Structure 1
Amino acid sequence: MHSITRTALLPVAMLAAGLALNAQAQTGPSFNCSANLSSSIETLICGSEALSILDRQMASTYSAALEKAGSQAKRLKAEQRGWIKGRNDCWKADDKQACVRDSYNQRLVELRQ
C-alpha cells in the first residue's frame, strides 16, 4: 500500500516543487542570488523586492530589444555590459538603492525606444 501511495504522490510532489521554484523565480531578480555575486550592488538587488522587480523587467525588456536588434545585436550587448558596469558603480553613491533604481529606470527607457 505504501508504494502505491508514494507513486501516486510523486507527481503531486514534483508539481509542488515546480510551483515553488516558479514562485521563487517570480520574487527574485533575473540572476541567481545564491551564486557568487560579482558586486555588492547585486547583493543589494537580491535583498530588495523593488529592485528585483526592476531587474526582471530589465531582463525581459533587454531580451525583447535583443530579438529586434538584428545586425546591431553585438552593439546592444556591449552597451548592456557597459550599463551593468555603471549600475554596479552605484556602490559609490550615498543612496545606493536610489542610484540603482534610477539606473534601471533610465536604461529601461533607452531599451524601449
Structure 2
Amino acid sequence: MHLFIRAALLPVAIFALDAHAQTGPSFKCSAHLTSSIETLICGSEALSALDRQMASTYSAALKKAGSQAKMLKAQQRGWIKGRNDCWKADDKQACVRDSYKQRLVELQQ
C-alpha cells in the first residue's frame, strides 16, 4: 500500500520541483539590470513566464532560421529595444505583456 502511494505522489513531487526551478525570467536578475523594464520582468512571475517562453520559442526559431539566422538575431535585438520602450507607457506591465505576446506570434509563424 505504501509503495502505491509513493508511486502516485512521485509525479506530483517532480512537478513541484520543476515548477520551483522555473521561476524568474530567462536572464539573470541582479542589481545591475540595464532597464526598468527588466526590473519589472524580474518582479513579475507572469512576465517572467512570458520571458522564459520567449527564450524557448526564439531558440527554436533560430534553429530553423538557417541562412536567415543573422536577420532573426537583428530583429530580436530590435524587439528587445522596443519592449524596453514600454517604460514610457502608462501601463508598463500591459505594454510588456502585449509586446511578448505579439513577438511570440511572429516567431511561431
Question: Is residue 39 of structure 2 the alignment partner of residue 43 of structure 1?
Answer: yes
Cα distance change, pair 96–111 in 1 and its aligned pair in 2 (3 A): same
Stretches (4+) displaced over 6 A = none
Question: Which is higher, the Rg of structure 1 or of structure 2?
Answer: 1
User: Aligned partners of 2:87, 2:65: CA distance in 1, in Å?
Assistant: 31
Counterpart position of 2:27: 31
Counterpart position of 2:6: none
Choose from 88, 93, 97 the match for 2:93. Answer: 97
User: Aligned partners of 1:105, 1:54: CA distance in 2, in Å?
Assistant: 8
Q: 1:70-89 alignment to 2 at 5 Å?
A: 70-89=66-85
Counterpart position of 1:4: none
Where in structure 1 are there 5+ consecutive unaligned residues?
1-19
Report the CA distance between 1:45 and its aligned residue: 0.1
Computed over aligned residues only, the root mean square deviation of the Cα atoms, in angstroms, reads: 1.7
Count of equivalent residues: 94
Please list the CA deviations of residues 2-58 of structure 1 after superposition, one character each: whole Å capped at 9, or x if unmatched: xxxxxxxxxxxxxxxxxx8x7665110000002511100000000000000000000
Identity of aligned residues (%): 87
